[in-house]
Amino acid sequence: MDSTEFRKRGMEMVEYICNYLETLNDRRVTPSVEPGYLRHLLPSEAPHEPEDWDKIMNDVEDKIMPGVTHWQHPRFHAYFPAGNSFPSILGDMLGDGIGCIGFSWAASPACTELETIVLDWLGKAIGLPDHFLALKEGSTGGGVIQTSASECVLVTMLAARAQALKRLKAQHPFVEEGHLLSKLMAYCSKEAHSCVEKAAMICFVKLRILEPDENASLRGQTIGEAMEEDELQGLVPFFVSTTLGTTGSCAFDNLPEIGLELQKFPSVWLHVDAAYAGNSFICPELKPLLKGIEFADSFNTNPNKWLLTNFDCSTLWVRDRIRLTSALVVDPLYLKHGYSDAAIDYRHWGVPLSRRFRSLKLWFVLRSYGISGLQHYIRHHIKLAKRFEELVLKDKRFEICNQVKLGLVCFRLKGSDKLNEKFLSTINESGKLHMVPASVNERYIIRFCAVAQNATAEDIDYAWDTIVDFANELLEKEQHDELTEIINKKKQDTLAQKRSFFVRMVSDPKIYNPAINKAGTPKLSLDITSPVVSRGSNPIIRTQSSVEHNSWISWPLAFLFNSNNDEKSSNVSLRFRHLDTNVRPSSSRRNSGAGSSPSPENEVNYVNMQQQQQQQQQQQRSPRKSPMFMRKLPSTQNNHN
């Protein structure tokens, strides 16, 4: 394709994109295809000879589009928004056209400098403290664009880990790093995104997953008690990941409380993941949600979720850029340049070396909409969410399950989880709306998010009317099924009673004893402490004590050790692995004082986790053979008692 044809095809593509976005309503929001659908439509080999552009574009419409989930569709209310806007698309297009790889200042000075400036702009607009801004006089902090929030959490955990190991190594110079690493403990709430668990796996550290309060908010006292308890065990708290705007229900951890609590643990890195909600802090009236940020070491938000910027654009700010980069620096000769000491080299701020010119699209967005335009957009989505909440509240068959602060409403039909599961899957199968569920406070809830850029009140009303139609149909059917079930059960009971009476009459002389008759049939009790509870395909090991207990430890790579070389038994989803046992790491240091660092030279080694698991597996080989990834800790309250 030469530039003459590119001009022509480029214009056609812009036309195609505009048509696509303007006529989204005519398409099903979710595709109705089966896995592998595309394999049957495309050849198994790449073409040897060049193909005609029109033919390629025809295939886009005929073969690709039928398998696309339309995230920009006005009936798409799942997950969080996937940011999209024309200025952003154009910014990406320009970045792609320039096609530079800005891993260092010298590799493309504008790419680096624009990123620093735009991150300062956005940081100021959100209301981050000055120490997060790179260009503020005396600041040691700064911002960087990462590919995803998961990467932001990972690199901050890596930085915190490096700091902690450095500190421990200074205290215990003759102890191997690997041994020191085994002491490190990170913390997050059960409501934190699963990327925190993934980061802990990659960093090879333990992660203690804590129970939030009834509003899904992690509290300072919970963190403080867990860290004190772990220190008594000889472990070293080093990283806390908090969430402002959780994925499940857009709940907010209590950052001021947690920040204050962490003053007792000054070397612990406090990260704030505000992947969705953070964008909204550009509205002055929402800035109170950011309270406590002054305690944080790092903060991330995704403009590619809720700031009209296309994926990928996840922004991360750190209080101390040296603490971040010192965990990630590698400096081969071929990447050095004359200004290495005077300029920012973003390759030291993340995992990849190569980086796209992503700041362009954010710059385009910030300039085209202005802060006021972005504030308007955020407020519009919140207004739509409030409208939806009001509609739900008016119908007594439904309940609201979260505090609606931003664009996410969590709701459910009053009734069982099973009923709600059925309800949501029927709606989703229809292709008329798309929503996803979450589990909050052990309940199945349905998430409804205001997503489409130009969503209107009519779109919300349409969604609600559709939901009500499905609810009417389902509840009517349920009532009918329930009635039929009662009648059938009654019939069966009467028949069973007659049969049983007859059988017992002819076989069991005790039947003639009236006292036995009065005692009736023994009732089946639901044993909530039964050891294995299966949820979907993931087994959850529930120990007798786990009902009162409230935190878990995720062990790095435990799933590998657990597999016992049996490929089939390791076939367990890594997401939301809240599996627990009643084992906790044993330590010879139970009696060491709180706040003191462990003294690994003198201690008896921690029980090797792999050995522990093998022992446990041997003990438990029969009858249950369940994976044990998470180790349940006794609740702090219980300990204190």
273 interacts with ligand PLP by CB under 6 A: yes
80 vs 398 by CB, closer to ligand PLP: 80
85 vs 302 by CB, closer to ligand PLP: 302
80 interacts with ligand PLP by CB under 6 A: yes
The interface region with ligand PLP, picked from 22-30, 91-99, 272-280, 587-595 by CB under 6 A, is 272-280
Minimum gap (Å) between residue 20 Cβ and ligand PLP? 23
217 interacts with ligand PLP by CB under 6 A: no
Minimum gap (Å) between residue 469 Cβ and ligand PLP? 29
CB neighbour list of residue 142: distance below 8 Å, 6 or more residues apart: 116, 119, 120, 132, 133, 134, 317, 318, 321, 344
Task: Tell me how many helices (H) and strands (E) the chain has.
Answer: 18, 15
Six-digit token string for 170: 């200074």
The interface region with ligand PLP, picked from 54-62, 239-247, 387-395, 467-475 by CB under 6 A, is 239-247
The rounded distance, in Å, linking the Cα atoms of 594 and 227 is 9
Helix axes 109-126, 359-394, angle to 10 degrees: 30
172 vs 447 by CB, closer to ligand PLP: 447
Q: Backbone dihedral region of 197: left (phi > 0), alpha (psi from -120 to 50 degrees) or beta?
A: alpha
81 vs 598 by CB, closer to ligand PLP: 81
The interface region with ligand PLP, picked from 242-250, 329-337, 377-385, 568-576 by CB under 6 A, is 242-250
72, 108, 139, 148: which one binds ligand PLP (CB under 6 A): 148
The interface region with ligand PLP, picked from 144-152, 401-409, 460-468, 631-639 by CB under 6 A, is 144-152
Minimum gap (Å) between residue 216 Cβ and ligand PLP? 12
172, 183, 193, 577: which one binds ligand PLP (CB under 6 A): 193
122, 149, 406, 579: which one binds ligand PLP (CB under 6 A): 149
298 vs 314 by CB, closer to ligand PLP: 314
Segments of 244-304 assigned E as strands: 269-273, 298-301
The rounded distance, in Å, linking the Cα atoms of 358 and 374 is 19
Which residues between 568 and 627 bind ligand PLP (CB under 6 A)? none
3-state SS assignment for residue 184: strand
275 interacts with ligand PLP by CB under 6 A: yes
149 vs 308 by CB, closer to ligand PLP: 149
81 vs 600 by CB, closer to ligand PLP: 81
The rounded distance, in Å, linking the Cα atoms of 283 and 125 is 8
Backbone φ and ψ of 129, nearest 5°: -60, 155
Type of residue at 439 = S
Which residues between 291 and 320 bind ligand PLP (CB under 6 A)? 302, 314
247 vs 280 by CB, closer to ligand PLP: 247
Do 178 and 204 contact (CB within 8 A), yes or no? no
Which residues between 535 and 554 bind ligand PLP (CB under 6 A)? none
494 vs 573 by CB, closer to ligand PLP: 573
249 interacts with ligand PLP by CB under 6 A: no
The interface region with ligand PLP, picked from 135-143, 145-153, 346-354, 470-478 by CB under 6 A, is 145-153
3-state SS assignment for residue 222: helix
Segments of 488-602 assigned E as strands: 532-535, 538-541, 551-554
118, 154, 157, 195: which one binds ligand PLP (CB under 6 A): 195
Cis peptide bond upstream of 312, omega within 30: yes
Task: Give alpha helix (H) positions in 233-358.
Answer: 255-262, 303-306, 321-325
CB neighbour list of residue 373: distance below 8 Å, 6 or more residues apart: none
105, 187, 265, 276: which one binds ligand PLP (CB under 6 A): 276
85 vs 247 by CB, closer to ligand PLP: 247
Using CA atoms, how far residue 592 sits from 235, 266, 303, 575, 605, in Å, is: 11, 19, 46, 35, 15
CB neighbour list of residue 3: distance below 8 Å, 6 or more residues apart: none
The interface region with ligand PLP, picked from 158-166, 241-249, 360-368, 474-482 by CB under 6 A, is 241-249
The DSSP secondary-structure symbol of 316 reads E
The rounded distance, in Å, linking the Cα atoms of 261 and 238 is 14
CB neighbour list of residue 279: distance below 8 Å, 6 or more residues apart: 126, 301, 302, 303, 305, 306, 307, 374, 378
150, 241, 375, 626: which one binds ligand PLP (CB under 6 A): 150
243 interacts with ligand PLP by CB under 6 A: yes
Number of residues in contact with ligand PLP under rule CB under 6 A: 14
232 vs 401 by CB, closer to ligand PLP: 401
Six-digit token string for 393: 């509240």
Six-digit token string for 415: 């009734």
402 interacts with ligand PLP by CB under 6 A: no
The rounded distance, in Å, linking the Cα atoms of 447 and 400 is 10
3-state SS assignment for residue 108: coil
Binding-site ranges for ligand PLP (CB under 6 A): 80, 148-150, 193, 195, 243, 246-247, 273, 275-276, 302, 314
